[in-house]
Structure 1
Amino acid sequence: MKIGMLTWGSHGDIRPFLALADGLQAAGHEVHLVITSLEAGTYDRVRSAVGAKITVLTPHTFSPEQAQAVGQTAYSIRDPMKQMAAILRLAFAPAEDAMFEAAQRLCAESDVLVGHYFMHPLQIAAEHAGLPYVSVLLSHAGVPSDYVNPLGLSMVGRGGNRLLWWLTRTFLNRTLRHYPDRLRKQLGMAPMRDIVSDVWVSRHLALVAVSPQLCPRQPDWPESIQVCGFLDRPNCELEGVLPPSLASFLAAGESPLYMTFGSWMPKDLKGQTLALRLLTDAARRANCRAIIQCSDWQACGFSSDDRILYAAAAPHHLIFPHCLAIVHHGGAGTTQSATLAGKPSIVVANLSEQEHWGRELQRIGVAGKPAKRRNATVASLAAQICALRSTPAMGERARRVGEVMRQEDGVAQAVRQIEIRSGRESF
């Protein structure tokens, strides 16, 4: 098959699609992946080892200051719906028309379309062209079910869950539907009925790219929703290798914490300094060795010693297995990488989606209660580190979950599901 793919966002939104593109290409399909990155220039050198075509779309280049403004605006909003609306307005809308044009070009050359679950431009183009559309959800928080609810509340029952989903979908459509409806109008199409069931969870095939260890299949999900597992891949070029300084630090003492806020580390030096101070002081108060990830740690006035090592970046799959635990922001990729490595987590969340991941890690017993970034203090974070160190059962539980997860192959399962649906529906 000729398969067109389109994704948008930060590294956590792009890396899974690089993995799936390689998997589909290796299975004999002809793949064209179009990337829209919020980080200009980051993916220009990324290539597929098996020959998938990769196009980097740069319709709107964010300066570091603009990227920081997006993050700060989203971080300052507590209402999850308004938070999502702000991110789309500031970071998605400026690229929407260019992505819509790219989506239509992909439809002209493809048999099947595969898109990030936010990717309404590709869904609309595929629907208009009469082509099948596969959505890839990087979190199961957006998949409706009578057995769970979008707020993570317990003890509300199936009726309560159904009501909460109805309310959530109503607010989502009021907040977001004007984006797809604008594009649909350009093609003479009727307004969208429901953004969740029409875009996020494709009726053809919706792949939930989450390990079954974190995402149990719900009894009321139709066959078109499949939990394929974590879409992992060998190291990306831009992730680098394990530098000698890291290897030496690991060998010099007890296993350290790995502390990272990922793409949610502030871009400005003042914000980075505050974040570094929080992480550094918490690690020292907990009397724990730590590797702290930050691109500009030297400019912020920090220096490494035998207890704290600062690193601009490190490949997670190489460093996480050697660490005591991972302190992170609760991004989908970092969450599953930590779990895959068999390590417990401490989640310091910026967004409601990251809080969801923190709750899921707590539910399966590999993390404590997630913290919120705006409320996190040195004392509270140090207390969480001490609590984790004094709970060996959590580390053992993480080790067992990681063992099972390493037996999974999310890419192979996703490829298989796309091929099964292609045969079943004669795409």
Structure 2
Amino acid sequence: MKIGLQTWGSHGDVRPFLALAEGLQRSGHEVILVITCVDSDAYARHVSPSGVDIRMVASPVLGPEDAGKIGATVFNTRDPMRQMAKILRLAFAPVEDRMFAAAERLCEECDVVIGHFFMHPLRAAAQRAGRPYASVMLSHGGIPSACDHPMRSRGGAQWANRLLWWITRLAVNRALLADTNRLRARAGVPPVRDMIDEVWLSPQLTLVAVSPVIAVQQPDWPPGVQLSGFLDMPNIAVEGSVAPELAGFLAAGEPPVYMTLGSWMPADTGWQRETLELLGEAARLAGCRAIIQSADAAACGFTSSDRLLYVRAAPHHAVFPRCSAVLHHGGAGTTQSAILAGKPSVVVPHISEQEHWGRELRRLGIAGTPVHRRKATAAGLAKLIRQALDTPAMTQAAIEAGNAMRREDGVAAAVELVDRVFGHAEARAAAR
């Protein structure tokens, strides 16, 4: 088949699609991947080892000043639905038309299209073109189930989960439905009444790109919703390499704590300086060595020492296994990379989805209580770091989870599901 993929977001939204695209290409399909990256143009220089046709659209969406504004806006918004709506209106809506044009072209060229669950322009284009469509959910917390809700502990009363999901649907639709239907009207396709069932989830196939170590295939998920596992791949050039200075630091003493807030590290120099001071002081109070990931540490006045190393980027898969713990923001990719490395976590979420990942890690026994960035203090983070380092049961649980996760192959499972659902349909169409 000729398969088109389209994604939008930061590195954590792009990397799984790169992994899936490579897997599909290696299995014999012809693959086009369209990327709209919010905060980087680095993927324009990425060359697929298997020959995937990679196309960049409107990347980066945000410049440094815009990124600082959106970070501050979201940081100061406490309501999760308003957070999500603001992110999309500031970082999605400005390039929506260009992404829709790319989606239309993709539907003209391809037999099947697969989109990030936020990618409603591709869903609309596929519907107009009559193309089979699959969705990729990067978190299981967005799939309604009477057995689970991201705000509650797993296994709670089903009536309570149903009530929470009814409220959640109302809030999601109130926040996002109008903007989605405006584009659909321009595209000439009928409006949708529910964002989750009619946009985020595809009845044909929705791949849930989460490890079974964390997520469970719930019995009341729609038949098309399938847990594939983490869409992982080897390190790529945009993630950097283990530079000599980094290798030397890792070898020079006890394993450090790796600290990264991913794309949520503030772009604004003043706010970034405050964040770096917080992380550095937390490491000092915890009595640990630390690697702190920041694009502009030097510009903020910070220099490395034998206890603290500042890096612009590093390949997490290569570095995390050599660390003692990982302090992170709770992004889907970083969370699962930390588990894969068999390391306990300290989670500092900025948005509601990240809080859900933090609660999942706590449920697994490989992290303490997540602390939202608004409430984070150096003393509080130091306490959580010491808990991660001084609790043998937490380290052992992380090792066991990592061992289980390394036995999985989420990309292979996803490719098999795509072949099973769409390959037979294409073969029947060809036979006719």
TM-score normalised according to structure 2 size: 0.96
Partner of 1:254: 254
Partner of 1:128: 128
Residues 201-245 of structure 1, C-alpha deviations (whole Å, 9 max, x = no match): 110100000000011111212331111111111112111210111
Distance 1:407 1:155 in 2: 26
Task: Check whether the contact 1:286–1:382 (CA below 8 A) recurs between aligned residues.
Answer: yes
Task: Check whether the contact 1:212–1:229 (CA below 8 A) recurs between aligned residues.
Answer: yes
Distance 2:286 2:173 in 1: 45
Partner of 1:151: 151
Distance 2:154 2:169 in 1: 19
Task: Check whether the contact 2:36–2:60 (CA below 8 A) recurs between aligned residues.
Answer: no
TM-fit CA distance, 1:153:
4.9
- For 1:278, the aligned partner's letter is L
- For 2:404, the aligned partner's letter is V
User: What aligned pairs does 1:24-173 form with structure 2 within 5 A after superposition?
Assistant: 24-58=24-58, 61-153=61-153, 156-173=156-173
- For 2:16, the aligned partner's letter is P
TM-fit CA distance, 1:407:
0.9
TM-fit CA distance, 1:156:
4.8
User: What aligned pairs does 1:347-358 form with structure 2 within 5 A after superposition?
Assistant: 347-358=347-358
Match status 1:385 vs 2:385: yes
The change in CA–CA distance for 1:318 and 1:60 in structure 2 (over 3 A counts) is closer
TM-fit CA distance, 1:198:
1.0
- For 2:271, the aligned partner's letter is G
The change in CA–CA distance for 1:401 and 1:40 in structure 2 (over 3 A counts) is closer
Task: Check whether the contact 2:349–2:355 (CA below 8 A) recurs between aligned residues.
Answer: yes
SS at 1:114 equivalent? strand
Residues 104-161 of structure 1, C-alpha deviations (whole Å, 9 max, x = no match): 1111111111000000000111112111111001111100101011423567511111
Partner of 2:330: 330
SS at 2:36 equivalent? strand
Match status 1:269 vs 2:269: yes
Distance 2:40 2:246 in 1: 28
Partner of 1:295: 295
Partner of 1:181: 181
Distance 1:205 1:96 in 2: 24
- For 1:37, the aligned partner's letter is C
Task: Give the root-mean-square deviation of aligned CA atoms.
Answer: 1.3
Structure 1's consecutive aligned runs of 4 or more residues displaced over 6 angstroms after TM superposition are none
Distance 2:151 2:41 in 1: 36
Task: Check whether the contact 2:41–2:60 (CA below 8 A) recurs between aligned residues.
Answer: no
Match status 1:359 vs 2:359: yes
Partner of 2:344: 344
Partner of 1:3: 3
Distance 2:341 2:386 in 1: 21
Partner of 1:233: 233
- For 1:231, the aligned partner's letter is L
Task: Check whether the contact 2:147–2:154 (CA below 8 A) recurs between aligned residues.
Answer: no
Task: Check whether the contact 1:124–1:180 (CA below 8 A) recurs between aligned residues.
Answer: no
SS at 2:288 equivalent? coil
TM-fit CA distance, 1:62:
2.1
Distance 2:423 2:233 in 1: 26
Distance 1:282 1:150 in 2: 29
Partner of 1:319: 319
SS at 1:334 equivalent? helix
Distance 1:80 1:151 in 2: 11
Distance 2:387 2:85 in 1: 36
TM-score normalised according to structure 1 size: 0.97
**More off after superposition, 119-128 vs 174-183:** 174-183
Residues 177-215 of structure 1, C-alpha deviations (whole Å, 9 max, x = no match): 112211221233221021101111110100000000011
SS at 1:118 equivalent? coil
Aligned-residue identity in percent: 56
- For 1:367, the aligned partner's letter is A
Residues 19-58 of structure 1, C-alpha deviations (whole Å, 9 max, x = no match): 1111101111011110011124221101110001000001
SS at 2:115 equivalent? strand
SS at 1:280 equivalent? helix
Distance 2:39 2:218 in 1: 36
Distance 2:399 2:59 in 1: 43
Distance 1:60 1:381 in 2: 32
TM-fit CA distance, 1:59:
6.8
Distance 1:67 1:195 in 2: 26
Question: What residue ranges of structure 2 are gaps of 5+ in the alignment?
Answer: none
Distance 2:208 2:58 in 1: 27
Distance 2:154 2:120 in 1: 31
Work out the number of aligned pairs and report it. 427
**More off after superposition, 182-191 vs 129-138:** 182-191
- For 2:236, the aligned partner's letter is C
Distance 2:409 2:179 in 1: 35
- For 2:255, the aligned partner's letter is S
Partner of 2:215: 215
**More off after superposition, 189-198 vs 353-362:** 189-198
